[in-house]
Structures are given as C-alpha cells and as structure tokens.
Chains A and B, each alone.
Chain A
Amino acid sequence: MDRTVITVVGKDTVGIIARVCTYLADNKINILDISQTIVQGFFNMMMIVDTGMMTKGFGQMSEELHALGEEIGVDIKCQREEIFDKMHRI
C-alpha cells in the first residue's frame, strides 16, 4: 500500500468532494479515510488514499490535482503520509 495524504483548503462551494473523488476514481486511487470541517466558511478536508494501483507517477498526480484545485478555487496538496507519521508518532 502506498499512502498519500491529500489536503483541500479553500472557500466552500458545491461539488468540491465530488470533483476530487471523480479524479481519484478515474485514476484507480482508493480512498481510505476522509475527514472534513468548515471553519469560518473555509472548507478544510483531508483524505488518506492508497495510490498503489495508480498508473501515473506521484509528480503527475500532484500537478493534476493542483490544477483541478485551481479550477475549483481551492488549494489541493498531495504529500506522502510518512511526513505526518514521523512528525506526530513516536
């Protein structure tokens, strides 16, 4: 399993999750966990996904999701899960 954390931050609007999930499904990226909150009108979502079956490279996925984010008007970031694991778990 190849776990990646996708964060989506920006102004709340209709269909953010739908657009992101469509991209993930199209690219054989499996969602393992989603959590989401809205703070003062700002949409804040984190997804943990498995990119093990994806055929694209990490860099390409990251760029395409970033571009998708720009289209919707939110900031989408992809990071390998280890950075969070290392920092917050002993």
Chain B
Amino acid sequence: MINLFEVVETNEMITRENLDVRTITLGISLLDCMDSDLVKLKEKIYNKIYGAAKDLVKTGEEIAGEFGIPIVNKRISVTPMGLIGGTACKTVEDFASLAKTLDEVAKAVGVNFIGGYSALISKGMTAADELLIRSIPLALSQTERVCSSVNLGSTRTGINMDGVKLMGEIVRQTAEYTKEQDSLGCAKLVVFCNAPDDNPFMAGAFHGVSEADKVINVGVSGPGVVKNAVSKVRGENFEVLCETIKKTAFKVTRVGQLVAQEASRRLDVPFGIVDLSLAPTPAIGDSVADILCEMGLEYAGAPGSTAALALLNDQVKKGGVMASSYVGGLSGAFIPVSEDQGMIHAVEAGALSLEKLEAMTCVCSVGLDMIAIPGDTKASTISGIIADEMAIGMVNQKTTAVRIIPVIGKGVGETVEFGGLLGYAPIMPVNSFSCEEFVSRGGRIPAPIHSFKN
C-alpha cells in the first residue's frame, strides 16, 4: 500500500515544483466535413468540433479535481485546413473565414487554443495549400485562439525551398498585421521539418491524416520537478545524474498516462499518445534553463550547454518510454526563450545567442522557439534562419521548428511582452549578412543520403 512518504513526495511535486499536465488535446478529423459550398463546410466544421469537444473542458476539470493534479490547458487539433478547405475556398478571405469558424467554436467549447490551420508542403504545394498559407497573416490577425503551422520539409522528401521563401515573407507579414499587439500573431505560427501527426502542443498541433476520427493526446511537463531532483545530486557523477533524471521523468510521465487514460475513458475517445516534454512556463521554478544551470552551468548558453541538453533530453525519453506504452508527439525538452525565465536571464546576461540556440536545437525536441528578433529583419533573412533549422531536422531525422517573432517597431535591447503563458522576451540580434540569392533560387533541396553517416 502507498505510504505517507510517497504521498508527500507527489503532493510536493504538485504544490511546490509546478508539476502539471500541460495539455489534454483532442484531435478531431475534419475529413468528413469537406464540401464545395463554403457556408455548408463551415457549418459542418462547427458542428463536428462542437459535438466532439463540448465536454472536454468539464472532463479535464473533473479529472484535475479528483486526482489533485492541475491540467493547465484543454485544446483541440484538427486536420490541416489546407486539405479541408481546398474545394470551397477560392480566395484568401474565404480561407480566413474558416479560421474565424475555428475561433468561434474554440470559444464556444472553452478551449484556449485550436491548432490545425495548417498546410503540409514538405515536397510541393497545391493551389489550396498556397492559398491557405497566403491567408495566414489575415487569419491570425482576425482570430484569437487559432494556431497555424506549416510543414516545410522532411528527411524523406527534402526541403521545399519555395515554401521556405514564402514562409519568410508570411512570418513578416503576420508580424505587420498584428503589430498593434507586438506582432503577437507570430507566436501562433510555427514552421516544421518532420512535423509529427500527433503533437498535442501548440502552436504546432494538428490532427494528421493517418490518425483516427478522434483521439486524445496528452502533453506532460515538469521542469521544476526535474530541477529539484537534480539539485539533490549536486557534485555526483553523470551516472547518478542520468539515473536521477530518468526516475523523475518516469514519475512525471506516469501521471500523464493516467490522465490520458481517464480522459479517454470519460470522453469515450481512443487514447493516442503521451508527449514526454519538459515544457517551461514563465513561472519561477518552471524553467528548462534552470535545470541546465543546476547541472553545473553558469547560464544556459555557456559552453557545455549542448551536451547538458542532449543528456537531459535523452534521459527524459528513457524514463518516459518506460512509463507509457504509447509515446509520441515532440517528446523532449523545449527551449523557448520567452516562455522560460532562465532563458530570458541568459539572453539578458549575454550568455545565449541565436547561433548557440541553433546548436542546441540539434539535440532538443523542437527548435528555435519564441524568439523575438528586430522588426526590421528582412524576409529573406527569416527564410535563411528557417532553412538552417529545417536542414538540421532533415539531416538528423528529427523534428525541428521555427517560431520567431520579428517585433515591428522594436530593435535589439528592447523587450516585448506577450503576456500569460507566452511570457516576455528581450529582442535578440540577428546575423544581418544577406542570404537573399540563396533563398531565392527556388525549387527543393533533395532528401539526404541515409548511408555513409559521418
């Protein structure tokens, strides 16, 4: 039987170390909503999502109450809208009106984000995909809860450089369209290489076409818990350090697994995956950077940071895989800047640059995330940053992403405030040498060779 010590340990994790289930994300296929009539299409989308998700928030709150574990977000992901809206949408405005429908239904069921305003163009794009992409700035400026993502490459297909060039322009345009809110639209827009179909985390969640009609995916978190565990083995060797992280990740993931199964049972929706991610928030003590510091670095970004992050990411996966039979999504440590107090401190201290972050993304679970850059950064430079990150994902057979925010009207040294879970960020300098000719070549970068690994 459970003893007092174990009960106290669990409850300390929850109350003092910010252990939570970051999100229950309900994936909903909209493939059966397709219609060539825009009005009918919107009605079908609204009704399907509302019918599937009307009890999601209530159920999440009940589970949180009964197990005593906070479930921070309840969210929805849908089939990429580039596929769903293709036959009905003839203009950018048509597509943006679909985003409004998503926004309305998200508000009606009470979820804080809905993901899937997306296009998958890793090899090429259809006319509908392009139209959707061109509608992103308008869609994100007219909606509050819609998140958008575009998959630009994969290890099997290579990188769609036409898409990369276009997305550099779209990111800039989205920043312009939402400049009144410090270019907040860009915080809801992410580009991927090797995007997973079952990611529960925003802004990149969408419900892949290989998924069932409905599915429950759960994202766990707990950087504070890992940091606290690591602080108890100060000075010990790497074996002890790794063992500690692994055991902690196991415990954290088991909570996610329990919540996922309960949500699946109560909503009568199949359980998909648990995403084992250390997702920081701006709250004190909920930082991935602090774990790196606890391991022995002065600041995140100091030499040794990539090794420390690689170790952390691997041990989180090793512990988590033992705890849940179905692991998926992004699974690893997130290293966003604005959402992590320790990262913000590192940038302010001059310890962390965009280039070091790029190196760290080679071993973390995602990529350049929530990074504010000067508002006058050229679209081609943004495309260049995206291309670099996509190349890392393509060659290393991993998911990489870019979510950067060119803050219109602000420059290096200034700070931008997004509020809530998105936090605030100091604006980081960008290498200003040109890559215009490179990104303008057009076409694709071929898929890499899978032999002769060096």
The chain A residues found within 8 Å of chain B, CB to CB, are 5, 7, 32-33, 35-37, 44, 46, 48, 58-59, 62, 77-88
Give complex CA distance A87, B320 in Å: 12
Shortest distance from the beta carbon of B154 to any chain A beta carbon, whole Å: 35
Interface SS of chain A: helix, strand, loop or mixed? strand
Q: How large is the interface on B (under 10, 10 to 19, 20 to 34, 35 or more residues)?
A: 20 to 34
Is there contact, CB below 8 Å, between B66 and A46? no
Give complex CA distance A48, B258 in Å: 19
Is there contact, CB below 8 Å, between A80 and B67? yes
Is there contact, CB below 8 Å, between A44 and B255? no
Give complex CA distance A58, B66 in Å: 7
Interface SS of chain B: helix, strand, loop or mixed? helix
19 A-B pairs in the complex with CB atoms less than 8 angstroms apart: A5-B7, A7-B8, A32-B1, A36-B4, A37-B4, A46-B4, A46-B8, A48-B2, A62-B65, A80-B67, A83-B67, A84-B2, A84-B6, A86-B255, A87-B6, A87-B10, A88-B2, A88-B6, A88-B9
Q: Is B444 an interface residue (CB 8 A)?
A: no
A-B pairs with lowest CB-CB distance, top 8: A79-B68, A86-B254, A83-B67, A88-B6, A84-B2, A35-B4, A46-B4, A86-B258
Q: Is B298 an interface residue (CB 8 A)?
A: no
Is there contact, CB below 8 Å, between A81 and B2? yes
| Partner pick for A35 among B3, B67, B257, B258, CB 8 A cutoff | B3
Is there contact, CB below 8 Å, between A46 and B67? no
Q: In this complex, which of A48, A81, A83, A85 has the most chain B Cβ atoms within 10 angstroms of its Cβ?
A: A83
Is there contact, CB below 8 Å, between B11 and A7? yes
Is there contact, CB below 8 Å, between B258 and A82? yes
Q: In this complex, which of B1, B7, B8 has the most chain A Cβ atoms within 10 angstroms of its Cβ?
A: B7
Is there contact, CB below 8 Å, between A79 and B2? no
A79 closest partner in B (C-beta): B68
The chain B residues found within 8 Å of chain A, CB to CB, are 1-4, 6-11, 62, 65-69, 251, 254-255, 257-258
Is there contact, CB below 8 Å, between B67 and A82? yes
Contacts of B255 in A (CB 8 A): 83, 86-87
Contacts of A58 in B (CB 8 A): 65-66
Is there contact, CB below 8 Å, between A88 and B67? no
Q: A79-B68, A88-B251 are in contact. List 12 more A-B contacts (CB 8 A).
A: A5-B2, A33-B1, A36-B4, A59-B65, A62-B66, A80-B66, A83-B10, A86-B255, A87-B6, A87-B251, A87-B255, A88-B9
Shortest distance from the beta carbon of B275 to any chain A beta carbon, whole Å: 17
Shortest distance from the beta carbon of A10 to any chain B beta carbon, whole Å: 13
- Given A84-B2, A86-B255, decide whether A7 and B7 contact each other with a Cβ distance below 8 A: yes
Shortest distance from the beta carbon of B67 to any chain A beta carbon, whole Å: 4
Q: In this complex, which of B6, B62, B255 has the most chain A Cβ atoms within 10 angstroms of its Cβ?
A: B6
Shortest distance from the beta carbon of A4 to any chain B beta carbon, whole Å: 9
Is there contact, CB below 8 Å, between A48 and B11? no
Contacts of A81 in B (CB 8 A): 2
